Amino acid sequence: MMNRGFVPRLLVTAGMVAAMLLEPAQSALPAEVDGEAMPTLAPMIERVTPAVVNIATSANVEAQANPLFNDPFFRRFFNIPELPRRRAQASGSGVIVDAKRGLLLTNNHVIANADDIQVKLRDGRIFEAELVGTDPDTDIAVIRIKADGLTEIQIADSSKVRVGDFVVAIGNPFGLGQTVTSGIISALARSGLGIVGYEDFIQTDASINPGNSGGALVNLRGELVGINSAILSQSGGNVGIGFAVPSNMASQIMEQLVQYGEVRRGFLGVEMQDLDPALAEAFGLKQHEGAVVVSVVPESSAAAAGLQAGDVVTRANRVQIRNAADLRNQIGLLRVGDSMELTFLREGRERRASVTVNENPAIATGGELRNERLAGANFGEISPQSRAYGRYQGVMVYDVDVGSEIWRAGVRPGDIIRAVNRVATPTLKAFLEVVNNARGSLLLQIQRGNAAALVVIK
């Protein structure tokens, strides 16, 4: 994603101009060679590109010269007035997946904190978009426009894609307008990158640049296999390593966002880690893939199903589990009340258990939370399924109503609140005690992945 208005310069030397002027017309690539048609992706591209749109967002942000200005205590002590606000603009891409209902998939980071979202179609029409819902943990968002004559893209089964499959990335990089690049699928199920909470990325070498975020990754049939989300780069430019959210994950998230406006993830109640060679040897196992159950939360779904510390989960709903991230992703995509069939090894013998996932029992609801500034959000102890579990002390944000005060302040599901008004909140009880007795603004110390920030809620 990048600021709108950036126009890269296209440099053409005089020698290049002369060469182009002297180039004979006959040197153009022929449509046929020896009577055989030249291979081309043009028919597929022409059919698919109307479903990929440009998304332009804008938001009011404070013109801050110093991060200390975020601190209300600092402002009050030095009698600093409220800072002026400026209009920030950014752009990205989106994909029409349901023409009848006007539903589009994009990235959460494309529209995060935006108070105005505009969608520009390839035919030049521009529409105001309504935010249906977002899921920061997968970096997926759904928006809706009211328009006739939309073209939708068909969604492929991303579980069937293979390394080496040809793919095409379509988006709007650098504000240039719609751009198409091609490549192959370089790897599957990439995780542990620290980009979002639930990672199961498709890796591709198709060029993905700023502004491509939220665009389409399609196969040669023109079917959506992923939503382009991120690149691995030290300079910010494309180096041939791009990541896309698989279409299966994106469509599952979309269903929940459309139905509920949020993602209601199930809670299994296990802490887990990868099965490495040392643990496999200790357990007397020949295989080195699986998720090892480290601990089981009492009275959780996992405890009711009989799971124990030391069990090695190898399959979940017939999907192979290679590591803890695989199992975490499978759990995270289930809704509350869904069942999961687990295959696991205990003392070298294969066993099976059916588990019904429930809500996390340690979530604070409005009945316990008496501070109106935090209305619209649910908080709880850090889930064992979270990457923050065991790394930080604090309270996890489980749900945030879009448009609420805490949402407008920038707090998102999955954030860890480590302190309120400079008072540490290592537990839910400590958090509730501080916020319920607080008067005036709240200063939240937020941990999001590896980044920390201060958020003020007035």
Among the listed residues 137, 139, 311, 399, the single catalytic one is 139
Residue keyed to tokens 């492929």 = 156
Per the CB < 8 A criterion, the answer to whether 187 and 163 are in contact is yes
- 458 Cβ partners below 8 Å, 6+ apart? 72, 373, 405, 441
Query: Cα separation of 449 and 427, whole Å?
Result: 19
Per the CB < 8 A criterion, the answer to whether 390 and 438 are in contact is no
Closest CA to 359 of 294, 297, 432, 300: 300
Query: Cα separation of 334 and 2, whole Å?
Result: 33
Among the listed residues 91, 109, 229, 300, the single catalytic one is 109
Query: Cα separation of 305 and 321, whole Å?
Result: 18
Q: What is the dihedral of CA 372, 373, 375, 381, to 10 degrees?
A: -110
Query: Cα separation of 260 and 77, whole Å?
Result: 43
**Amino acid occupying residue 69:** F
139 given a catalytic annotation: yes
Query: Cα separation of 413 and 407, whole Å?
Result: 10
Q: CB-side exposure of 165: number of CA atoms within 13 Å?
A: 23
User: What's the Rg (C-alpha) of the chain?
Assistant: 25
Q: CB-side exposure of 92: number of CA atoms within 13 Å?
A: 27
CB atoms < 10 A from the CB of 420, how many?
23
- 424 Cβ partners below 8 Å, 6+ apart? 393, 418, 430
Among the listed residues 91, 191, 207, 213, the single catalytic one is 213
Instruction: End-to-end CA distance of the chain: give it in Å, rounded.
Output: 29
- 160 Cβ partners below 8 Å, 6+ apart? none
213 given a catalytic annotation: yes
Query: Cα separation of 143 and 110, whole Å?
Result: 11
| Residue positions annotated with a catalytic role | 109, 139, 213
